[in-house]
């Protein structure tokens, strides 16, 4: 799979972000990239192209659905929308992520013994 620096934090992170953004409103690919960059205060730099295989994975898993529409710049684009399964999947993923994050934080909070 084509990846370049900076890469995904971990497998599934991109998908999770896509699902979260789509939960708020249906979006097309370019808009999704914009939102990810805005929302992360440009901290996360997603290779824009990698969005599309991720969207295909989500389509295949029936977590999102797509329909052709017209973008604000008047281009024919595919607009993605969260499915019911997608909503459920996002909820479990988010809670698992939070658990993992708190676990990792606890470990990291042990502090450094570097002297």
Partner 1 sequence: MRTLLDLLRRRRSLDGLSDEIRAHLDEKVDALIASGMSRSDARRAARRAFGHVAQIEEAGRDVWRMPAFDDALADIAFAFRFLRRSPTFAAVAVLSLAIGIGANAAVFTVIDALLLRHLPVLDPSALVVLSKHDVDAGEPSTLAFHEYDELRSRTSSFAGMLAYSGGGGSLQPGATPVPGAGEPIHAGRVSSNFFDVLGVRMAVGRAFMPVNDVKADPERSVVLSYSYWQRRFGGDPSIVGKPVIVFRGMPFTVVGVATRGFTGIEPDQDTDAWWPIANVKRMAPERLAGWTVTVLARLKHGVDVSRARAEAKLVYARIAADEAAAHADWTDVRRRRFLAEQFTVGSGATGIADATRARFTQPLYVLMASVLGVLLIASANVGALLLARTTARRRELAVRLALGSGRPRIIRQLVTENVLLAAIATTAGLALVPFALRILLSYAPADVAGGLHTAPDVRTVMFIVGIAFASAVIIGVLPAFRSTMALEGELTAGGHAVGAPQHRARVYRVLIATQIALCMSLLVVAGLFVRTLHNLRGLDAGFDRKSLVVVTVNDGAVTVPVARQTLPALEAIPGVRSGTFYANLGLLGGGTSTSDCIVDGTSPRPSDDVSCVRMQVGPHFFETTSTRIVAGRPFAPGDEPPGASVAIVNETMARQYFGAESPLGKRISGAEVVGVARDTKYTSLRDPAQRMIYTPVGRGWVVADVRFALHTDRNVAGIGSVIRQAIADAGVTKKTTAIESIAEISDATLARERLLAEVATSFGLLALLLAGIGLYGTMSFAVARRNNEIALRLALGANRAMIIRQLMRESGTTVVLGAGAGLIGTFMLSRLLSRLLFGLEPSDPATIGAAVLLLAAAAAAAAYLPARRASGADPIAALRSE
The residues that touch partner 1, with contacts defined as CB under 8 A, are 1-2, 4, 28-30, 33, 47-50, 52-53, 56-57, 59-60, 66, 68, 71, 73, 75-78
The helix/strand/coil state of 35 is helix
Q: Which is nearer to partner 1, 20 or 78 (CB)?
A: 78
Q: Which is nearer to partner 1, 17 or 54 (CB)?
A: 54
Q: Which is nearer to partner 1, 53 or 103 (CB)?
A: 53
Q: How far is the CB of 15 from partner 1 (least distance, A)?
A: 12
d(CA 8, CA 44): 9
CA dist 24 → 18, 27, 36, 69, 103 (Å): 10, 9, 13, 18, 28
Phi, psi of 88 (to 5 degrees): -65, -45
Q: How far is the CB of 65 from partner 1 (least distance, A)?
A: 10
Q: Which is nearer to partner 1, 56 or 102 (CB)?
A: 56
Instruction: Quickly list H helices, 5-83.
Output: 13-24, 29-39, 51-60
């Amino acid at each position: 799979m084509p990846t370049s620096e900076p890469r995904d934090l971990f497998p599934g992170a991109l998908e999770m972000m896509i699902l979260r953004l789509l939960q708020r409103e249906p979006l097309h690919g370019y808009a999704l990239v914009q939102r990810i960059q805005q929302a992360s205060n440009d901290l996360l730099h997603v290779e824009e192209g990698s969005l599309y295989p991720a969207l295909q994975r989500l389509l295949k898993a029936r977590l999102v659905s797509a329909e052709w529409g017209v973008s604000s710049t008047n281009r024919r684009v595919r607009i993605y929308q969260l499915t019911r399964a997608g909503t459920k999947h996002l909820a479990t993923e988010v809670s698992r992520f939070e658990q993992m994050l708190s676990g990792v934080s606890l470990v990291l909070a042990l502090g450094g013994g570097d002297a």
